A = this chain, B = another copy of it.
Amino acid sequence: MKTGAAAILPAGLLAASSRVACPKGATLFRTGGPTHAVFYVESGAVRLLRFGREGEEVVLHEARAGEFFAEASLDSARYHCDAVAAEPSELLKIPAGALRALLEADPRFSRQWIAILSRQLRSARSRIERLSLKGARERVLHLLLSEGRGPGCEVRLAGTLKDLARHLGLTHEVLYRTLAAMEREGEITRADGVLRRPG
């Protein structure tokens, strides 16, 4: 059975694409560069970053296995952020031109592409609401309720707690303390990379 990008992308587009293996820390593109490609993550993780005046980095998005990134750049001429591998990763590099052409020609694929964008949009908006909450505890709870699976609102942590802290707009110290307090008070349980609500 087809897996990964092969399940989504037509053979023609796959043929036009190239496989890229990159080590942790590799830069795939930079802000202002011409948008030559959209990427698909086969394995690993890639961060879309922007930098403040003092060099502090803000993670706009972290694309993991099975996700596209730079899709939003498809209709703009230049990238609007940097892309850096957060782990050693295997990517599929899809030429923007070929993708654009396929979107024109294949309504079925076009529809799929719309579904992908819609999903990303929902997820981004949910994160906006999360970041709008004032307290660390509320943000963690929001994460569980909005992204958690099953009755226990299980959330599997993809990366480190530090990464999660940045995702939540908190320092890692505050997140550690908050999780510890929530666990102490029986609001959540933690077991090897999985957060959930007891009960």
Q: Which residues of A contact B (CB under 8 A)?
A: 48, 50, 52-53, 56, 58-62, 71-76, 80-81, 103-104, 107, 110-111, 113-115, 117-122, 124-129, 131-133, 138, 141-142, 145-146, 151, 153, 166, 169, 197, 199
- Interface residue from B58, B125, B128, B146 paired with A72 (Cβ < 8 Å): B125
A128 touches B127 (CB 8 A): yes
- Interface residue from B53, B125, B142 paired with A124 (Cβ < 8 Å): B125
Using Cβ atoms and an 8 Å threshold, which residues of chain B touch A141?
A: 52, 56, 58
B58 touches A146 (CB 8 A): yes
Among A125, A128, A146, residue most surrounded by chain B Cβ atoms (within 10 Å): A125
The A interface, classified by DSSP as helix, strand, loop or mixed, is helix
Using Cβ atoms and an 8 Å threshold, which residues of chain B touch A48?
A: 125
B71 touches A121 (CB 8 A): yes
Among A71, A124, A131, A197, residue most surrounded by chain B Cβ atoms (within 10 Å): A124
Given A50-B129, A121-B121, decide whether A114 and B56 contact each other with a Cβ distance below 8 A: no
A125 touches B61 (CB 8 A): yes
Closest B residue to A110 by CB, please name it: B110
Using Cβ atoms and an 8 Å threshold, which residues of chain B touch A50?
A: 129, 145-146
- Interface residue from B61, B72, B132, B145 paired with A129 (Cβ < 8 Å): B61
A145 touches B58 (CB 8 A): yes
27 residue pairs from A and B, CB less than 8 Å apart: A50-B146, A52-B138, A52-B141, A53-B199, A58-B128, A58-B129, A58-B141, A58-B142, A59-B129, A59-B132, A60-B122, A61-B128, A61-B129, A71-B121, A73-B118, A74-B115, A75-B111, A103-B114, A104-B107, A107-B107, A113-B114, A114-B114, A127-B128, A128-B131, A131-B132, A131-B169, A132-B169
